[in-house]
Amino acid sequence: MSPDIYIETGTTLKWLLTTAWLLPLAGFLIEVFGGYWSGRKSRAAAYLAVGCIATGFVCSLIALLTWIDAANLNVSDIWQNPGAVAAASHEVSEATHADHEHDAHHAGAEHDGDHEHVAPSHSEAEHHGHAVHGNNPLKFAFNGTFYTLAKFGSIQVTLDYYIDGLTVLMFTMVTFIATCIHLFAIGYMSDELTESYEDHQVHLPGGKHFHRPGRFYRFFSFLSLFCFAMLGLVLAGNIFQVFIFWELVGVCSYLLIGFYVERKSASTAANKAFIMNRVGDFGFLIGLMILWTWFGTFQFANTNPDQTGQQGLFQMVRTDTGEIETEGEGLNRVAYMQSLSGQRLMGNDGQARRIPYWLLVVAGLGIFAGCVGKSAQFPLQTWLPDAMEGPTPVSALVHSATMVAAGVYLAGRFFPMFTPEVLLVIAYVGAITAFIGATIALVVTDIKQVLAYSTISQLGYMMLAIGVGGWLAGLFHLITHAFFKSLMFLCSGSVIHGCHHEQEMTKMGGLYKKMPITCWTMWIGVVAISGLAIPITLPYLGAIAFSGFHSKDAIIASSLSFSTLNPTHSLLFFIPLITAGITAFYMHRMWFMTFFGKPKDHHVHEHAHESPWVMCGPLLALSFFAAFCAVGGESGPLAKLLLTSEPTHVAGGLQAAGNIGLNLPSHHDIHECHGQAGVMALLAALMGAVIAYLFYCKQAVDPALVKARFESAHRFLKSKWQFDEIYDAMFTRPVHVVAKWCTGFDREALDRFLHSCASLAVGIAQWDRKFDEAVVDRIVNVLGEVTFAAGRTLKGVQTGRLRQYVMFIAAAVVCLFVVLFLFLPR
């Protein structure tokens, strides 16, 4: 691709994605102001919101096609060589690093010489003994600035865009899922279309329910704002801008989780989500400060073809070969920053600019802390199940395309900044989260809670994959998970809607005849998330399986090769493997309990009905993608698209990296484990599914007996690993104790002091009053009395007789004359 076409493509993508990004904002503004006047029974807001997001989806789709065209991803060659995963990735890699020396395992990759250079390269400088190209650790991206917010000398805060394969894919995924959810919500939220909505869960004194005007338009305006925030986060070109939209996403989730604000549980859940996120964001801020202080920029990378302008964070941290150039050991270790042309970056004092390695680790951990909060990772996962208090479409949006996806997205986007130490932390946090989420999902009986915990568990999988160096696997799973999880949430919404807001699975059962579409679309989601497949490998298609199999397979393969390379961390392979089995079990348990077996509550069963088409349509659309979006597995189009934006250093792996000497697997290593890992994961999943079938469909074993046998374990899981209790004991109660002390101090010391001050003031005031009355008032009164007496005395002089006055005047004149003549000197 020549520079001209590069710029042209970049501009096209920029405008398409900006349109898709800003449309929901325009929609939000019109809905939130217009909705107020259009009345409570108008569906106009919903149609506007759907229109905005659907137009955004069309724009994103065009952008995706533009991208495929620009990246030279020939869709037809997906079918030619299903085995060679590496080949797919390296065609693009070649495009950017035409003269790059191949590692041994790349040798098989066919080099297409016609591909021109995207991140254009040939600087004359020699570095590390081979020709240096532009230092762009991300192979293929467009960036630029919308607007400069502030400028401090040479450093500036800007609103940027950064577009690569991941951005475009996320846009398409988010807008598509959001469109489906918007459509679904038109049906689901239709009972809000009233002047007087009765909230059955808010009990007023006197046994009545709370009545309020319907909030249809408000719901859709919040949804639009949510989409705007998420799309802005994905489009953002610098980490500070990400932070802005990060917070905006948080606010939107707060508004939507607390949508039924009159319910105590909903408002508490909204607060909990918001506060938990604050904890993570504190780390995020620390990371931001370190980056700002040491690097002086927030930008991800500068992809300018002529290598002018300022270098971005990724370019400063990584050399053109994707390494962090370090020196020294332990705490004295420093990392050298790199310039755009791939040399050491010189500061103003002529010294090479560098950053203490441990600060780089802290910055990475800080940013990851933000991801922990947003993506509900251990130990901040407790907000996510509570967030089920929001309406079900919100849960679907929060759990698939927006909120929680943001954390994983950022971990993937910021991957070049993470040192091996940070990656290890990410991997362990992910593994622990996956396991905790899956085990709790085993025992909960609320249909939405099962899905909530499965989300936590799957997010743990994604983080684990990113942590073990399976960048592709993590983000692959993010995309596929978004489809099948939003599908399953909408299905659960359909069930809840059909059962008149009954969420307990213990009251359902046998619904498959009543709602066949919901039942079978949900089956697709369940099979996808369980990672089930038919173990036959077809030529050109890979295994016959839904999307979840491919992505989970990739994750297990990554973790297997990681634990092979680092035997001390073999736990990172066994936890996800066991969790895969548990996942299959609890998902099938949910499906069987809801749709099969005997109806447990006849009242619910009799009134259950299939949902209207506006709700079933999105289910069918989503189930198509949940089934087939990952077709071809890691050599399929989706994975290829993702690979275009994979950081360069991932493909080759790392040996003995960082202070802890971690080995990260290369594409080749992962590919070698693929077969083995796939078989193990499939066996685990099949086992889980079969056990669930025996338990809940065939009734071969009575679950109640098992429950009684493992009573204490059940109680432990039912109380969600005691996390809420632990946090209560660790944070809430100490705060209460401190608060009690503070009140005591206030009462005993401060109040007493203030009260004595007050009584002193009262005493002074009383004395002052006496002085006023005795002295000041008396003087004033005497003056008044004197004046009054004088007036009274002089009153007699005024006779009112005119002729008398004239006589006085005449007499006075005569007197004056007499005096004048007598005394005036002649």
- Residue closer to other proteins by CB (options 75, 794) is 794
Give phi and psi for 541, each to the nearest 5.
Answer: -110, -15
CA 482/CA 480 separation, integer angstroms: 5
Q: How far is the CB of 778 from other proteins (least distance, A)?
A: 28
Query: Residue 544 corresponds to which tokens in the numbers above?
Result: 């016959």
Q: How far is the CB of 783 from other proteins (least distance, A)?
A: 21
Q: How far is the CB of 788 from other proteins (least distance, A)?
A: 12
- Residue closer to other proteins by CB (options 708, 786) is 786
Q: How far is the CB of 796 from other proteins (least distance, A)?
A: 9
Q: How far is the CB of 815 from other proteins (least distance, A)?
A: 14
- Residue closer to other proteins by CB (options 754, 811) is 811
The 3-state secondary structure of 280-339 reads HHHHHHHHHHHHHHHHCCCECCCCCCCCCCCCCHHHHHCCCCCCCCEECCHHHCEEECEC
What's at 10, amino acid-wise?
A: G
- Bridge partners (DSSP) of residue 533 are 545
Are the C-beta atoms of 149 and 298 separated by less than 8 Å?
no
Instruction: Tell me how crowded residue 210 is: count the other CB atoms within 10 A of its CB.
Output: 15
- Residue closer to other proteins by CB (options 598, 801) is 801
Q: What is the DSSP code (8-state) at residue 657?
A: E
User: Which of 531, 633, 626, 524 is CA-nearest to residue 580?
Assistant: 531
- Residue closer to other proteins by CB (options 806, 819) is 806
Q: How far is the CB of 786 from other proteins (least distance, A)?
A: 18
CA 508/CA 502 separation, integer angstroms: 8
- Residue closer to other proteins by CB (options 802, 822) is 802
- Residue closer to other proteins by CB (options 731, 805) is 805
C-alpha 734, offset from chain centre: 29
The 3-state secondary structure of 427-453 reads HHHHHHHHHHHHHHHCCCCEHHHHHHH
Q: What is the chain's percent helix, strand, coil content, to nearest 5?
A: 65, 10, 25
Binding site for other proteins (CB under 8 A): 795, 798-803, 806-807, 810
- Residue closer to other proteins by CB (options 770, 801) is 801
CA 117/CA 93 separation, integer angstroms: 10
Q: How far is the CB of 820 from other proteins (least distance, A)?
A: 16
Q: How far is the CB of 780 from other proteins (least distance, A)?
A: 24
CA 677/CA 687 separation, integer angstroms: 15
434 Cβ contact list (under 8 Å, min separation 6):
457, 458, 460, 461, 464, 575, 576, 579
Q: What is the DSSP code (8-state) at residue 81?
A: -
- Residue closer to other proteins by CB (options 730, 806) is 806
User: Which of 741, 764, 766, 564 is CA-nearest to residue 669?
Assistant: 564
Q: How far is the CB of 761 from other proteins (least distance, A)?
A: 48
Task: Report CA Rg, the chain.
Answer: 37
DSSP annotation string for 476-532: HHHHHHHHHHHHHHHHHHHHHHHTTS--BGGG---TTTT-HHHHHHHHHHHHHHHT-
- Residue closer to other proteins by CB (options 781, 804) is 804
Q: How far is the CB of 801 from other proteins (least distance, A)?
A: 6
The 3-state secondary structure of 595-613 reads HCCCCCCHHHHHHCCCCCH
- Residue closer to other proteins by CB (options 613, 805) is 805
- Residue closer to other proteins by CB (options 204, 809) is 809
- Residue closer to other proteins by CB (options 749, 806) is 806
Q: How far is the CB of 798 from other proteins (least distance, A)?
A: 6
* CA distances to 213, 219, 220 from 40, in Å: 7, 12, 13
- Bridge partners (DSSP) of residue 534 are 544
- Residue closer to other proteins by CB (options 153, 791) is 791
Are the C-beta atoms of 508 and 497 separated by less than 8 Å?
no
Instruction: Tell me how crowded residue 57 is: count the other CB atoms within 10 A of its CB.
Output: 22
Helix axes 447-467, 547-565, angle to 10 degrees: 40
Q: How far is the CB of 790 from other proteins (least distance, A)?
A: 13
User: Which of 493, 488, 546, 558 is CA-nearest to residue 520?
Assistant: 488
Q: How far is the CB of 807 from other proteins (least distance, A)?
A: 5
| Distance in Å from the first CA to the final CA of the chain | 127
CA 405/CA 410 separation, integer angstroms: 9
- Residue closer to other proteins by CB (options 327, 785) is 785
Are the C-beta atoms of 232 and 20 separated by less than 8 Å?
no
Query: Residue 654 corresponds to which tokens in the numbers above?
Result: 């790392």
- Residue closer to other proteins by CB (options 761, 807) is 807
- Residue closer to other proteins by CB (options 757, 818) is 818
299 Cβ contact list (under 8 Å, min separation 6):
143, 158, 160, 237, 238, 310, 312, 313
Instruction: Tell me how crowded residue 655 is: count the other CB atoms within 10 A of its CB.
Output: 11
- Residue closer to other proteins by CB (options 79, 805) is 805
C-alpha 589, offset from chain centre: 29
CA 537/CA 736 separation, integer angstroms: 60
